[in-house]
Amino acid sequence: MAAALAEDPSLRVLVVEAGPWNRNPLVAVPKGFVRTMFDPRISLEYPALPAREPGPVDVWRRGRGVGGSTLINGTMYLRGESHLYDGLADHLGADWSWPAFGRAFDHLEAVLPVSAPPSEPSSEPPSEVLRALIAGLGETGVPLVPDVRAAVGPRVGRTPATIRGGMRRSAATLLRPGLRAGNLRVLTGQTTVRVLTAGDRAVGVETVLADGSRIRHHARRQVVLTAGTLETPSLLERSGIGDPDRLRHLGIDPVVSAPRVGEGLREQRGATVKARIRFGLGLNGRLGTTRGLLGAAAQYLVTRSGPLASGPYPLAASVDSTGGNRPDLQLLLTDISTDGTGLEPADHAGLMIQAYALSPYSTGSVHAANTDPCRPPHVRAPLLEDPRDRDAAARALKTARAALAAPALSGVVIDEELPGVSVAGGDDEAAAAFVRTSGGGIYHAVGTCAAGGPDAVVDEQLRVRGIDGLHVADLSVLPTHPSGGTAAVAMALGHLAGSRIREGR
Ligand SMILES: Cc1cc2nc3c(=O)[nH]c(=O)nc-3n(C[C@H](O)[C@H](O)[C@H](O)COP(=O)(O)OP(=O)(O)OC[C@H]3O[C@@H](n4cnc5c(N)ncnc54)[C@H](O)[C@@H]3O)c2cc1C
């Protein structure tokens, strides 16, 4: 968003970021996220309690620093599904349709490198396990395509990733032209406490530094919030924009009554199917032993290639579980398996398929815990409360299992490790319970300041209702998910919002 604003040399853009410029060298290593996502300097934890019924407590994470979550994410760059963007445009208006997002993706990819065949023909050919997975999906009716970005409908292909030359490129890359031109400035280590208002207009922000001192930044034209789905609603609430009763309870004077602030949280709930595979196949031997890991590290250091140079799931598939042409499931597939629920490689050869419904219906909420901007908000996570989500979870599990059982994998797979015999095939209730209890939020939350409808927090131009000069331009404005990933979507949304604000729309 800031990069798009700064494309107009007559505008001066100030980015206020709570975290630092990243200094952890592991951030550049694509597989380094298994360590960096636990680095408290650039990653924050958000305990996510069940929204309604008793259930598991998740820990959600977000990146903190210039580049946000793209500093620690899996680098997967999934544009998404055209029919889901059509659904979004029903809420946000035709300006937010698939063709508009398509143009934004093209624009971004000219600055932010995205490795995807055919743009990176030199990338390593798929391993025997990945080839078998592709063939297995083909046998279940999901065709291989050269570039999953360029196609619609059911498809499988190499996962596009924000990697170039074996190194992660975060969203901070997008700021370079503005920084070079000199009309974009970034202030780090300043947490925005609240939006400053004069009458019914936003006029700036107040920030707090690590030593507790406070600074006021005045905005001549616009204040745009991009703190993300988990932080933007609390920031609005601290600014007096939210449900008046809730605000008074927190000791905040209401400025604008906006009861939907923080409500409508939707998250994709991923469940992983694991299989043991033939000894010697896949990456467990290379990344799960000290010797193998040293070899992979040496290969990476010398050639910037090998298993450390790619993201977590080399294959991405969009599947329509009803047999049609409108994918409702995302499958992410890899030729390594992890130990238990952690991120360490298992001590045996394995593969994993993460499967999830693209469009969850169940909702949760996020609200400020108090007036302290450094305290994590209260997150109430949806847990498949809506029966449509339980059905979709069962279909996701069934689809992943069908791929594993395809004849093309018979020479590769030994047996299913997870969920294994604990969930009998055909038992949809047990399958949904498995996803509910062993699955987790996958850091893709949207919806907490959603557009659409008479009581929406923002209008179709993403202006916060009831106050002038204030926009929200992050995933919190999306009422539903248009993709199986949110990184590409967040950047394209920011680009579209920034371009429109720049043009005075
Ligand atoms: C571990 C992990 C793995 C992921 N993997 C993938 C993946 O492979 N593919 C994919 O598509 N998606 C992935 N995602 C999700 C995706 O990266 C995010 O949805 C997306 O980057 C969110 O972008 P955003 O700009 O909306 O918010 P964020 O990335 O959360 O950025 C918000 C920024 O605002 C700052 N901020 C927050 N509050 C304040 C405040 N009060 N004052 C000042 N600054 C503030 C934060 O420090 C942060 O830098 C992953 C996310 C995580 C956490």
**Burial class of 251 by CB neighbour count within 10 A (0 to 12, 13 to 18, 19+):** exposed
Strands 13-16 and 184-187: parallel
Q: Give the residue-averaged pLDDT of 250-275.
A: 97
Banded pLDDT at 120 (limits 50, 70, 90): low
Question: Does the pLDDT of residue 167 top 70, yes or no?
Answer: yes
Report CA Rg, the chain: 22
363 CA → ligand 1 middle, Å: 20
172 CA → ligand 1 middle, Å: 12
Tell me, what's the pLDDT at 323?
A: 93
Q: What residue ranges line ligand 1, CB within 6 angstroms?
A: 16-19, 37, 61-65, 68-70, 72-76, 78, 191-192, 226-228, 231, 235, 373, 443-444, 474-475, 485-488, 490
Pocket test for ligand 1, best of 62, 72, 230, 238 (most atoms within 8 A of CB): 62
Residue ranges of alpha helices (H) inside 231-366 are 232-238, 244-249, 284-287, 290-303
The two tokens of residue 19 are: 């975290």
Closest CA to 50 of 385, 386, 391: 385
Question: Does the pLDDT of residue 197 top 70, yes or no?
Answer: yes
Question: Does the pLDDT of residue 150 top 70, yes or no?
Answer: yes
Strands 191-198 and 413-418: unpaired
Nearest-atom index, ligand 1, CA of 312: 8
Question: Does the pLDDT of residue 154 top 80, yes or no?
Answer: yes
Q: Give the residue-averaged pLDDT of 111-122.
A: 71
Question: Does the pLDDT of residue 117 top 70, yes or no?
Answer: no
pLDDT in tens, 314-356: 999 999 999 999 999 999 999 999 998 789 999 999 999 999 9
pLDDT in tens, 434-470: 999 999 999 999 999 999 988 999 999 999 999 999 9
Omega before 30 within 30 of 0, i.e. cis: no
pLDDT in tens, 371-406: 999 999 999 999 999 999 999 999 999 999 999 999
Q: Where do we find the tokens 């993201």?
A: 311
Q: Residue 348: which residues within 8 A CB-CB, separation 6 or more? A: 276, 279, 284, 337
Orientation angle between helical segments 487-502 and 98-111, nearest 10 degrees = 100
Strands (E), 8-125: 13-16, 43-50, 58-63
Q: Give the residue-averaged pLDDT of 55-79.
A: 97
Q: Residue 166: which residues within 8 A CB-CB, separation 6 or more? A: 30, 300, 303, 304, 305, 309
Tell me, what's the pLDDT at 119?
A: 54
Question: Does the pLDDT of residue 37 top 60, yes or no?
Answer: yes
Pocket test for ligand 1, best of 15, 24, 64, 73 (most atoms within 8 A of CB): 73
Report CA-CA distances (Å) from 17 to 7, 149, 369: 20, 31, 21
Banded pLDDT at 504 (limits 50, 70, 90): confident
Q: Where do we find the tokens 């193998």?
A: 292
203 CA → ligand 1 middle, Å: 25
**Architecture of the domain made up of 120-160+267-444:** 2-Layer Sandwich (3.30)
Q: Give the residue-averaged pLDDT of 190-198.
A: 98
Tell me, what's the pLDDT at 184?
A: 98
Domain ranges of the chain: 120-160+267-444
Tell me, what's the pLDDT at 118?
A: 54
Question: Does the pLDDT of residue 121 top 80, yes or no?
Answer: no
Nearest-atom index, ligand 1, CA of 311: 8
Question: Does the pLDDT of residue 13 top 70, yes or no?
Answer: yes
Cβ neighbours of 192 (radius 10 Å):
21
CA distance 66 to 312: 22
Banded pLDDT at 123 (limits 50, 70, 90): low
